[in-house]
Amino acid sequence: MQKYCQNAAKLIWSEINNSPDRAIDIHVTHDILIIAFKLGWFGFPPKKRWVSFLGGFALTFEKNNILLLDSGNLVSAEVPYWWEN
């Protein structure tokens, strides 16, 4: 699963220069992908409360970390060591 999450991150971020406003929106149809990305990208294990309908997370890069909006809470996370700049 970790390799899948790493490959997904590389594919997603390879399109950043092709997108208007240098922003990427990710829309998924299954909550298992959201759970996989949160675990594979940030090390956040699944919560007892499953992802809600149309739920997900948002992130932005800061100088030395990632700011993540998850379930209405702002959480600071380390940038994964394998994540390319």
Three-state secondary structure readout of the chain: CHHHHHHHHHHHHCCHHHCHHHCCCCCCCCHHHHHHHHHHHHCCCCCCCCCCCCCCEEEEECCCEEEEEECCEEEEEECCCCCCC
Per-residue pLDDT of the chain (85 residues; tens, 9 = 90+): 889 888 888 888 888 778 777 667 777 767 888 888 888 988 888 888 777 777 788 888 888 888 888 888 899 998 888 876 5
pTM: 0.73
